[in-house]
Amino acid sequence: MKILKYKIQLSLALTTSALVFLNSCKNDPLSPGIEFMPDMYRSVAYKPYEENPNFKDLLGARPPVQGTVSQGEFPNSAFNINEAFYPFPDTNEGYEEAGNKLKNPLPATPENLKKGADLYVKFCSPCHGDAGDGNGSIVANGKFPSPGKYWDRVLANGLNDGKMFHVITYGKNLMGSHASQLTKEERWLVIHHIDELVKKAAPTLIVNSTEASAKSSKKK
C-alpha cells in the first residue's frame, strides 16, 4: 500500500514537472513562461502618448501639476525670475538689446553677494580667474587663451549686466552656454559678484555706464 501511494505521488510530481517544463519551452524566445504575479514584471501604467480612458481628453501624457517646480529652481523668488521668459535671441542684435533693456533685478545684499561669489568660484573662475583678470587655472595651464579682464571689456565693449546675462545664457566666442548649469537667478547673483570685482580693480569705472554702452554702439 505504501509503495502504491509512493508511486502515485512520484507520478504526480513527474507529471507536474513535465507540464511546467513544457509550458516554459515556448517558441517565443522572449516569453518568460509561467510567471508568478506578472504585474511585478510588467507595469500596468499607461505608456507615454497612449490613450488613457480615465481622462476626458484621453491623453496619457499629462501636463505637470500646477505649481510644479523644476529641480534647482527657486519658487519663492520675489521676482519669479526663473519663470520669466527670456525674449532676446542669440544674435548680435539680441546681445545689444539685452544690454540696453536688462537690469539686475536682485538687490546687492551681503547674502546675495556671498552666493554670487560662491557660484563664480565654481563656474567662472577656472577661465576668468578669481579676480576677474582672465587668468584662471585652465588659462594658466595653456589650455585656452585668456578671456581678458572684465574691466577692459567694460571700457572697450560697453559690457554691462544685461550683456553679461545674455552671454551666460547663450555663450559667446569660446565660452559656451551656462544656462543648464545656472538658473536665471543664479546668473544674476554671479553678475553681482563680477560687478564687485570690477569695482575693486577699477574703482572709478561704472559697470553699467550708459556712456560706455554708447561708445560700444558707435564702434559698430
- The whole-number pLDDT of residue 130 equals 94
Instruction: Using the predicted structure, report yes or no on whether residue 202 has a pLDDT greater than 90.
Output: no
The residue whose grid cell reads 575693486 is 200
Q: What is the CATH number of the domain that holds 115?
A: 1.10.760
For residue 218, pLDDT over 50 is answered with: no
Total number of domains constituting the chain = 1
Does residue 20 lie within any of the structural domains?
A: no
Is residue 66 situated within a structural domain? no
Give me the torsion for CA of 54, 56, 57, 58, rounded to 10°. 30
**pLDDT band with cut points at 50, 70 and 90 for residue 33:** low
Question: Are 138 and 126 in contact, with CB atoms under 8 Å apart?
Answer: yes
Mean of pLDDT over the chain? 80
* pLDDT over threshold 50, residue 208: yes
Q: Global pTM? A: 0.60
Does some domain include residue 107?
Answer: yes
pLDDT value at position 215? 45
- Confidence tier at 211 by pLDDT (50, 70, 90): very low
Residue 211 vs residue 105, higher pLDDT: 105
Give Cα separations from 26 to 15, 22, 33, 36 (angstroms). 18, 8, 7, 17
Residues 68-117: tens digit of each pLDDT? 666 555 554 444 566 677 889 999 999 999 999 999 999 999 999 999 99
Indicate whether 126 belongs to any domain. Answer: yes
- For residue 206, being part of any structural domain is answered with yes
Pair 213, 159: CB distance under 8 Å: no
Residue range of the domain that includes 147 = 90-219
Highest mean pLDDT among 18-32, 48-62, 68-82: 48-62
